[in-house]
Amino acid sequence: MNDPRLQSPAAARNRQPILEVLQRVLPEHARVLEVASGSGEHAVHLAGAAPGWSWRPSDPVPRALASIAAWREAAGLANLLEPVELDVTGDWPEETFDAVVAINLLHISPWAVTEALLAGAGAALVPGGVLYLYGPFRREGRHTASSNAAFDADLRARDPRWGIRDLEAVTAEAGRHGLKLDRVVPMPANNLSLVFRRC
């Protein structure tokens, strides 16, 4: 029987650095919504390392949801909840969260997805709650590395609506939804962690 679990080499590389940032900015007990969970490997690693986090993975893609469910079943973690189908441009769960997490989403989706994510997080987060974004970003209109510039060109060739976003544009849009940039953390492979807090 085919194993539905997907595997991402990037997830294996960045999951520990992401965990270390989240452990600094989230309380010991937190309700977390992860959007665009993909394979589910981040969810398993992060929930497994922090049993006080109640981790809700989500994705709009049926294959990803099947992978997340299979990883969840194999891990047997009580705090890793069943995945839910969620397109951030549609209806969000009718509950509030201490954190919303989006890993490697903004650059492989249209800008409208970023707008919807920031609006949704602004509505779903409790006061003081955290929106955590991970991925490559431009700063002051410039790429942070030549490899990111090449990656950006490749993304835009695949889909003109995709591309590495400007940190300042994301911060400005976040501000329209009551989200203030708390910190920027440099990460391996020329990525950044952006931590926003709901005012």
pLDDT at 81 > cutoff 90: yes
- The pLDDT tens digits of the residues spanning 124-145 come to 999 999 999 999 999 999 999 9
Q: Which of 88, 84, 49, 48 is nearest to 68 (CA)?
A: 84
CB distance 188 to 14 below 8 Å: yes
pTM for this predicted structure: 0.97
Classify each residue of 129-152 as buried b or exposed e, where b means 16 or more C-beta atoms within 10 Å of its C-beta.
Answer: bbbbbbbbbbeeeebbeeebeebb
Q: How confident is the model at residue 2 (pLDDT cuts 50, 70, 90)?
A: confident
Identity at 35, one-letter amino acid code: V
CA angle 86, 88, 91 (to 5 degrees): 70
State the alpha helices, DSSP H only, in the chain.
9-25, 41-49, 62-75, 111-124, 146-158, 167-175
How many Cα neighbours within 13 Å face the side chain of 140? 1
The model's pLDDT over 100-117, given as tens digits with 9 standing for 90+, comes to: 999 999 999 999 999 999
Tell me the CA distances in angstroms from 85 to 55, 70, 81, 93, 189, one per residue in order.
14, 15, 13, 10, 30
Q: What is the DSSP letter of 81?
A: P
The tens digit of pLDDT for each residue in 31-63 reads: 999 999 999 999 999 999 999 999 999 999 999
Are 2 and 36 contacting, i.e. CB atoms less than 8 angstroms apart? no
The pLDDT, as a whole number, for residue 62 is 97
Hunting for tokens 């049926």 — which residue is that?
62
CA pair distance 20, 6, nearest whole angstrom: 24
